[in-house]
A and B are shown apart, each in its own frame.
Chain A
Amino acid sequence: MTTSESPVSEPLWRRAWGHAVLVAIALACIFPIYWLLATSLRRPDDVGSLSPIPWPLSLGNYVDAVEKVDVIGLLLNTFAVSAVSAVGQLFVALLASYAFAMYSFRFQRLLYLAFVGTWLVPFQVTMLPNYVLLYQLGLINNLAGVIVPTLCSALGVLMLRQHLDSFPKELVAAAKMDGRSSWSILWTVVVPNLRPALAALSILLFINAWNEYFWPAVVLQRSNSVVQLGLRSFMGTEGNDWGPMMAVAGLACLPVFALYIVLQRHIVNAFVRSGLK
């Protein structure tokens, strides 16, 4: 993102001032994350050290953490939940946004507002009736119960609709002339051309699902089988064992950071674009 060419030329001192502000903010933002990783990589005896560089490096805290909690199992569970949730949300949102963008039909605005309106409903409000329904379906303390309530993502519908609204309609019209059904047009014309948007959205949905706390906390009251809850119970039982705790916290962020390091610009743009109408 570059700001629009400002008509006022930027003198050197102003650029330097801008750099100074950004360095200060960036350091403040990154320090806790750096400290989390630095602490986790110190030798277990050096955890309380204030030296900015964790040296000598050691994986001792990670070994301790794996002995205390089944971190690997938790990560696999969380990965499965997030992947299924993201794919499900993507599929549901794709079908819905296709309908909104390619057709005009009765109640279109009303239905669209029904999606927008979900943001006015905090989940604490709907939590009890949903808990009762999940209980009746036998999904409490079951990973499926974490996934199902999240499958309809209004965010996904709105983002894909924006992309589809600017989709070249000639392509669709040409395929219609060939007498193809809307279903086959969706999969052979629209989806292949929408790949970048779908990829960006799926990463965004995956990260959201990975960091999700509220639904797992409601549904998995006794089994703590995703990494966020595993970390919470670790904080409760091993209160001051900072080294292993930072190791578990680091592992809880690991996949998201790995994605971010590889695809940072795309992720930043996807999140920011989703925040702008």
Chain B
Amino acid sequence: MFVAVPELTDAPVPSPSPAVVPAARVHPLRRVMRAAAPYLYLTPAVALLIVWTYRPLIQAAQLSTYSWNLLPTTPMVPVGADNYRRLLELPTFGDSVWRTVVLVVGLLPFTLVLPVVVAFATRGVRGRSRAVYQSLIFAPFLVAPVASAAVWQWLLDPGAGVINRVLGSDTNWIREPATAQWVIVLITGWHFIGFAVLVVSAGMAGVSGHYAEAAQVDGATRRQIDWWITLPLLSPTLVFLALMTVLLSAQWTFPLIDTLTQGGPSQATTNIYYLLWDYGFHSFDAGLSAAAGVLLFVGFGLIAGVLVWLSERISFHDD
């Protein structure tokens, strides 16, 4: 499952459609049709958006004020802000938020730092060999999460797995509370790193060479050029990747956690996304799950807002 985050800030305003040659007398019905046309084209998409995204968002907010166990036969009992109070008193909730922060920060080396280093180190590689490397490092991005869970479970198996046999250890990486979270980070990073490298390379391709040339004439070293010119010009790409890491950690880690650890061992991999699932479909506490969901949505909105604001502030636009 993959989404792309576009520029949230300035959606391009399309140029007005070319003027239609004014007909002597346009039939009024046709004029109405012409004005309604864009809305008619948008109807299926917007209807689906409302039904599957915005309606449930509002309903989740309503649901968060009820106590309900998801069974159609039991009544929903209004409890006001009780779910939120319970949630904030539960140590699991705070812990899971903290684990989510650790997860996202742990992913950044894979989605931001390493890709930038690799993209810079490999500028000189061109042509056919470059295409071969690209298709190899991109491949993990297309592996289904469950298949990758299966193969990593095999690689990390305490007795027969390759990794332990090469290291000569018998650590049960997935079942150790100290390492389970890092296994999830490693696998997610493995999925994502190739994609991030290609995004950074594409971003670098879009940076004009004139500034570097001018700086070189002024006697700047290559390192100075990279650090003070190329990297700042790449900032929109970097902000995009950071935003992507935050937004996608929800989608990418969930299948891995659900198949490998089910949130264990002793809650070590229960991040906020898995906790919502657990409250909803294991504890059948719909109100609590919805309340946590509302808080998560607000948090997401704030983080995205801050990142977009940052990109506006620090972006050096190349114009």
Contacts and interface: CB of A to CB of B under 8 A. Distances in A.
Interface of A: 1-8, 10, 14-15, 17-19, 21-23, 25-26, 28-30, 32-33, 35-36, 39, 48, 50, 92-93, 95-96, 98-105, 108-109, 111-116, 118-133, 135, 148-149, 151-152, 154-155, 157-159, 165, 169, 172-173, 176-177, 182, 204, 207-208, 210-214, 217-218, 221, 228-229, 231-232, 235, 240, 242, 245-246, 248-250, 252-253, 256-257, 260, 264-265, 267-268, 271-277
Contacts of B149: 235
Contacts of A157: 45
Interface of B: 1-8, 11-18, 20-21, 35, 37-39, 41-42, 44-46, 48-49, 51-57, 59-60, 63, 70, 72, 118, 121-126, 129-131, 133-155, 157, 160, 162, 165, 190, 193-195, 197-199, 201-209, 212-213, 216, 222, 225, 236-237, 240, 244, 247, 250-251, 254-255, 258-259, 273, 276-277, 280-281, 286, 289-290, 293-294, 296-297, 300-301, 304
Contact of A99 (B42, B251, B304): B42
B15 to A, nearest CB: 8
The prevalent SS among residues of B at the interface is helix
B136 A26 contact: yes
Contact of A4 (B51, B209, B277, B296): B209
A256 B142 contact: yes
A7 B216 contact: yes
A119 to B, nearest CB: 6
Nearest to A176: B20
A250 B166 CA distance: 24
Given A19-B125, A95-B44, A276-B199, A29 B296 contact: no
Given A10-B123, A21-B118, A122-B300, A211 B1 contact: yes
Contact of B46 (A114, A123, A207, A218): A114
B44 A207 contact: no
Given A18-B125, A25-B193, A98 B18 contact: no
